[in-house]
Amino acid sequence: MADTAEGQTRTAISAAMQQSVGSELSRMVSYPVSESDIRKWALAVYYPEEPPARFWDEEAAASSRQGGIVAPEDFNPFAWLRAHPKGVSRSSAATDADSTERSLGIDGPHLVNQLNGGVSVEYGEPIRPGDVITSVTRLGQYREREGSLGLMLLTPMETTWTNQRDEMVKRSTLVLIRY
């Protein structure tokens, strides 16, 4: 919140936005992860080097500390297609600064510019062949601060991936900065 010339506090956070904190922004479910998906991802990530054998060789993977083939931590089971909602994601989030609130059916802050304010990631259980991953993104607590270009709205969004055993695979928090 910032003070105006008249001494009043201005804010970009409406009552509807405040009430939406904790709301689910999106949910996706992957197709079952295949050994081929893991191999292709590992080849792409490690190119031009050969990926470690634990990502593609069953015998080498069996003797690893994971006890079998697992995906690299940065593997994305939603990179190609997703099982639910069907198809490929098509988002206007990169160009629409109000898309977060619009997805919840409320008015946004009507700010014009946005940028990625950073991402933090925590990893849990590794992704294995046959896993079905569910991704749920929730809206975090809005924060405001004054920046060199005026009032900035910081909007954290926490995404949690779980496998079919409800084990946490990955938790990431992205902070969206809008001004």
Q: At 124, is the secondary structure helix, strand, or coil?
A: coil
Q: What is the pLDDT of residues 114-159, one digit of tens each?
A: 999 999 999 999 999 999 999 999 999 999 999 998 999 999 999 9
pLDDT at 91 over 80: no
Domains of the chain (ranges; CATH) run 2-32+97-178 (3.10.129)
Tokens representing 3 are 């003070």
pLDDT at 87 over 70: yes
Separation between Cα atoms, residue 78 and residue 75, nearest integer Å: 9
Q: What's the whole-model pTM score?
A: 0.85
Separation between Cα atoms, residue 9 and residue 2, nearest integer Å: 5
For the chain, the maximum distance between any two Cα atoms, rounded to a whole number of angstroms, is 72
Q: What mean pLDDT, rounded, does the chain reach?
A: 90
Give the DSSP H/E element, type plus range, for residue 173: strand 168-178
For residue 97, give every residue at least 6 positions away whose Cβ sits within 8 Å of its Cβ, in sequence order, or none: 108, 109, 111, 112, 113, 114, 178
Please say whether the beta carbons of 21 and 141 come within 8 A. yes
- For the chain, percent of residues with pLDDT exceeding 70: 92
| DSSP bridge partners of 160 | 136, 171
Q: What is the pLDDT of residues 25-66, one digit of tens each?
A: 999 999 999 999 999 999 998 888 888 877 778 888 888 888
Residue 94 pLDDT class (50, 70, 90 cuts): low
